[in-house]
Amino acid sequence: MQTGNLDLVKYMVSTVLVANRGEIACRILRACSEAGLNSVAIYANNDKESMFVELATKSVELVGETIGETYLDQQQILDIAAKHGADAIHPGFGFLSERADFARAVLEAGITWIGPSPLAIEMMGDKMTARKTMKAAGVPVIPGEEIDFEDETKMIEAIVQASTRVGYPLLLKASSGGGGKGMRKVENPDNLVESIKGARREAIAAFGDGRVYIERMLTGSKHVEIQVLADTHGRVIHLGERECSVQRRHQKVFEESPCPVMTTDLREKMGKAAVMAAKAVNYEGAGTVEFLLDSTGEFFFLEMNTRIQVEHPVTEMVTGIDLVREQLRIAAGKPMSCGQLMMRGHAIEVRLYAEDASNNFLPAIGPLAVFRPPTGPGIRLDTGVREGDMVTPNYDPMLAKLIVWAPSRAEALQRMRRALDDFVVLGTTTNLRFLRELCDHEDVVSGATDTTMIERIWPNGWSPQFSSEILNAALMVAGVSESAGLHNVQATQSSADDGPPSPFQSLTRRYP
Helix (H) or strand (E) holding 508: helix 503-510
The rounded distance, in Å, linking the Cα atoms of 480 and 494 is 20
What's the per-residue H, E or C state across 10-59?
HHCCCEEEECCCHHHHHHHHHHHHHCCCEEEEEECHHHCCCHHHHHCCEE
Is 307 assigned a catalytic role?
Answer: yes
307, 329, 351, 436: the active-site residue: 307
E strand intervals along 179-273: 184-186, 212-216, 222-230, 236-248, 251-257
Contact of 366 with 391, CB cutoff 8 Å: yes
Report the DSSP beta bridge partners of residue 401: 351, 382
* Helix axes of 74-83 and 100-108: crossing angle, nearest 10 degrees: 30
**All residues at 6 or more sequence positions from 294 whose CB lies less than 8 Å from its CB, including other chains:** 218, 220, 221, 222, 300
The rounded radius of gyration (Å) of the Cα atoms in the chain is 23
493 alpha carbon, distance to own chain's centre: 25
**284: Cβ–Cβ under 8 A, 6 or more apart, which residues?**
115, 116, 117, 120, 230, 231, 232, 330
Q: What is the DSSP letter of 470?
A: H
Contact status, residue 308 vs residue 315, Cβ threshold 8 Å: no
Catalytic residues, by residue number, are 307
